[in-house]
A and B are shown apart, each in its own frame.
Chain A
Amino acid sequence: DAGVIQSPRHEVTEMGQEVTLRCKPISGHDYLFWYRQTMMRGLELLIYFNNNVPIDDSGMPEDRFSAKMPNASFSTLKIQPSEPRDSAVYFCASSTPNRVGGEQYFGPGTRLTVT
């Protein structure tokens, strides 16, 4: 298996633009997670899905952020409009229920820079 795939790997955009991050989880994994990582706040769980259904989005910072999972092999995280404080590395991860969500497989991340 290729592991969790994220695209793009790097994104540079201007404030106010829409940004869409993409993720393909490992086949057969029921859970999909979106994280944000910054020096100041560390790793933050933004939202997670179970069987394509959003279960907990309490970590989504504000309404400018939205996430979807239209099928078991694809998810998007969208920021509209983007702001400089959204600059961070965004990780997608997936897991099976066997490890109560603890054994997650992370993608390589998308480094977002908003100028």
Chain B
Amino acid sequence: LAKTTQPISMDSYEGQEVNITCSHNNIATNDYITWYQQFPSQGPRFIIQGYKTKVTNEVASLFIPADRKSSTLSLPRVSLSDTAVYYCLVGALIYNQGGKLIFGQGTELSVKP
């Protein structure tokens, strides 16, 4: 079972690029890596998902090295509103076959002016 490890907290300033890394040393072949953002008193919100190499969308990029034992969420030019907890999720559900999904403990990102 893929266990994930993330830094507990990170600090940044507005306008900077922030990179949050998640370690998942025993990731399985079928597993995907997904990142979520959570604000206080809300449910987590999907940010991005990938399997290997690089994925980019309108809010973030996800870098996954060839061995897939880690992944890095990159947030370009953060603002105060990006202050939140970020979770990595590793696993996959195969339709009609089951599977496992494991959330990391989360990284609390604090963006300062």
Which A residues are closer than 8 A to B by beta carbons? 4, 30-31, 42-45, 48, 50, 55-56, 91, 93, 97, 99-109
Contact = CB atoms under 8 A, between A and B. Distances in A.
Size category of the B interface is 20 to 34
A102 B49 contact: yes
A105 to B, nearest CB: 7
A48 B95 CA distance: 13
B19 interface: no
Contact of B34 (A44, A48, A102, A105): A102
Given A43-B103, A102-B49, A103-B49, A97 B43 contact: no
Given A97-B93, A102-B49, A106-B45, 5 more contacts: A42-B104, A97-B95, A100-B94, A101-B101, A109-B43
A4 B45 CA distance: 12
A104 B91 CA distance: 13
By secondary structure, the B interface counts as strand
A76 to B, nearest CB: 18
B46 interface: yes
A101 B92 contact: yes
Contacts of A109: 41-43
Contacts of A97: 93, 95
Contacts of B98: 50, 55-56
B99 A101 contact: yes
B89 interface: yes
A101 B46 contact: no
A22 B51 CA distance: 33
B106 A42 contact: yes
